[in-house]
A = this chain, B = another copy of it.
């Protein structure tokens, strides 16, 4: 079996880049700088479905994504006050990791972003610009 991105993730995100383990996606919601990492292996649901080596790799990728997304957010005046990481998967069972850069003045603060209000999609040009900028920043 090979890796196939869950249709819901495909619909809600744009691809930024593939890393060693994860496909790195931008959530199409301009309220928050919001990345999603999806390990490119089939049949993963929980963090403990990964073997030790892959889990260490994923953690490194989460950490890198968080640190660099924070730097990009600060540069762009879009926050970076706190990085939120979530592995939830109650609706989309494919293992995926949210990495969100939060700002003390953002739409959901101090609540988590998950399930908060309605997403505000980027315009097409803006989406491509942000994907390109974050790709360079990561």
- Is A88's CB under 8 angstroms from B60's CB? no
Number of contact residues on A: which range applies?
35 or more
- Is A63's CB under 8 angstroms from B48's CB? yes
A125 at interface by CB-CB < 8 Å: no
Cα of A50 to Cα of B60 in the assembled complex, Å: 11
- Min CB gap A68→B, angstroms: 9
Which residues from B are CB-within-8-Å of A56? 56, 59
Q: Which one, B64, B67, B86, contacts A84 given CB within 8 A? A: B86
Q: Taking the full assembly, how many copies of this chain does it contain?
A: 2
Residues 79-138 of A at the B interface (beta carbon under 8 Å): 82-91, 93, 102, 109-112, 114-115
Q: Which of chain B's residues has its CB closest to A55's CB?
A: B59
- Is A63's CB under 8 angstroms from B55's CB? yes
Which residues from B are CB-within-8-Å of A59? 47, 55-56, 58-59
Which residues from B are CB-within-8-Å of A45? 82
A35 at interface by CB-CB < 8 Å: no
Cα of A112 to Cα of B62 in the assembled complex, Å: 20
Which residues from B are CB-within-8-Å of A55? 59-60, 63
